[in-house]
């Protein structure tokens, strides 16, 4: 499901055979427009989930960044489901890994550029130079739509995450250990961040490839959030405590109770950060202690025995 401003019916809780999907957003205080967007859905007929959050930059130079964020999550949702189908099918593993590392970032950026340029053409007013064809993209035509993007595809045998810009992707294992595999390790400078409107944005995208080689190695919780959440805490430990608390509440009270409380938690975070705050999460009850986890996929695409990898753009592993 896609959440866009005004689509309140798309927030809350969605359930599949194994995953429980939660998503919620809160507009920052004193903000005139909501710049974030979120996507969270299950792959029909499969034990797989696709999540995405985007944070439009929102400044005067990025006047249509809310549109850019919406296109970003919609495109990731479509391409993410296609990637999940390939992961669940018979695509050879080396090809699937190359898709995650090379094809997916380039296709995400190309499709996003096509959409925002078409939006600009439809809404052009007054005299001025014609916008170029997509193959002749000028960066200044993309800047008004600038946005970050974080996305994840989760199947029984694989978790892959992609990130461009700020925000967080957190993974919690069945024992409660928290990891931030796409953390860049460098602080953002003020409001500056990598963006879909950046030059050669595909080379800036961070990718995490995480095989699920045994039933007990499946993550219990995958949580994506825009930086409005992490900025509400004084340090990274505060953010991790929030993730841990969410996981513990899911285990103890279940997803319905957490879905009811999530808007209040995010509103409190937005009050401190002053920013839009958005979360998309997938929780696997069977992966928590005491549950019976489903076995990883045994298809030809199963990544059993393949090492975990994280990389940025075209850098070597």
Q: How far is 157 from 271, CA to CA, in rounded Å?
A: 39
Residue 58 inside a domain? The answer is yes
CA atoms within 13 A on the CB side of 60: 0
**Is the CB of residue 281 less than 8 Å from the CB of residue 246?**
yes
Residue 218's region, left for phi above 0, alpha for psi from -120 to 50, else beta, is: beta
Q: How far is 212 from 222, CA to CA, in rounded Å?
A: 13
Residue carrying structure tokens 């007054």? 126
Residue 103 inside a domain? The answer is yes
Residue-wise pLDDT tens for the chain (317 aa)? 445 433 333 456 666 658 999 999 998 887 777 789 999 999 988 889 999 999 998 787 898 999 999 999 999 999 999 999 999 998 888 899 999 999 999 999 999 999 999 999 888 765 455 555 555 567 789 999 999 999 999 999 999 999 999 999 999 999 999 999 999 776 655 567 899 999 999 999 999 999 988 767 789 999 999 988 998 998 989 999 999 999 999 999 999 999 999 999 999 998 888 888 999 999 987 665 554 444 444 333 343 336 788 877 645 44
Residue 260 inside a domain? The answer is yes
Output the pLDDT for position 189: 52
Residue 72 inside a domain? The answer is yes
Return the bridge partners of 25, or none: 278
| Helix 255-273 × helix 236-253 angle, to 10° | 160
Burial of 94 per CB tally in 10 Å (0-12, 13-18, 19+): exposed
How many independent structural domains does the chain possess? 1
Select from 260, 310, 250 the least CA-distant residue to 285: 250
What is the H or E stretch that residue 20 is in?
Answer: strand 19-26
**Is the CB of residue 101 less than 8 Å from the CB of residue 311?**
yes
Residue 127 inside a domain? The answer is no
CA angle 55, 59, 144 (to 5 degrees): 80
Output the pLDDT for position 301: 38
Output the pLDDT for position 8: 32
Residue 118 inside a domain? The answer is yes
CA atoms within 13 A on the CB side of 172: 27
Return the bridge partners of 149, or none: 164
Output the pLDDT for position 11: 55
Range of the domain at 229: 2-122+138-312
Q: Where are the alpha helices (DSSP H) in the chain?
A: 65-88, 93-98, 104-122, 139-142, 227-230, 236-253, 255-273
Residues 6+ apart with CB under 8 A from 106: 202
Residue 161 inside a domain? The answer is yes
Q: Residue 48 belongs to a domain with what CATH number?
A: 3.60.40.10
Residue 77 inside a domain? The answer is yes
């Amino acid at each position: 499901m896609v959440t866009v401003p005004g689509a309140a019916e798309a927030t809350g809780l969605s359930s599949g055979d194994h995953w429980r999907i939660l998503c919620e957003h809160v507009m920052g205080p004193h903000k005139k427009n909501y710049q974030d967007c979120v996507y969270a859905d299950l792959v029909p007929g499969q034990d797989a989930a696709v999540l995405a959050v985007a944070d439009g930059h929102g400044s005067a130079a990025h006047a249509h960044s809310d549109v850019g964020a919406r296109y970003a999550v919609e495109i990731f949702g479509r391409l993410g489901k296609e990637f999940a189908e390939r992961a669940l099918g018979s695509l050879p593993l080396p090809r699937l890994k190359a898709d995650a590392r090379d094809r997916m970032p380039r296709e995400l950026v190309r499709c996003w550029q096509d959409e925002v340029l078409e939006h600009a053409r439809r809404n052009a007013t007054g005299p001025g130079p014609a916008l170029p064809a997509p193959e002749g993209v000028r960066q200044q035509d993309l800047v008004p739509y600038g946005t970050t993007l974080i996305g994840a595809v989760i199947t029984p045998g694989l978790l892959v995450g992609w990130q461009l810009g700020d925000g967080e992707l957190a993974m919690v294992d069945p024992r409660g250990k928290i990891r931030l595999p796409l953390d860049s390790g460098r602080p953002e400078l003020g409001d500056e961040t990598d963006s879909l409107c950046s030059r050669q944005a595909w080379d800036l995208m961070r990718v995490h490839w995480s095989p699920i080689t045994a039933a007990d190695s499946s993550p219990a919780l995958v949580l994506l959030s825009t930086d409005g959440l992490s900025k509400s805490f004084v340090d990274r430990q505060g953010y991790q405590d929030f993730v841990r608390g969410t996981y513990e509440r899911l285990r103890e009270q279940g997803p319905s109770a957490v879905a009811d409380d999530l808007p209040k938690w995010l509103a409190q975070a937005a009050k401190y950060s002053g920013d839009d705050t958005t979360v998309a999460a997938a929780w696997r009850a069977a992966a928590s202690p005491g549950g019976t986890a489903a076995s990883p996929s045994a298809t030809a695409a199963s990544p059993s025995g393949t090492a975990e990898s994280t990389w940025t753009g075209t850098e070597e592993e």
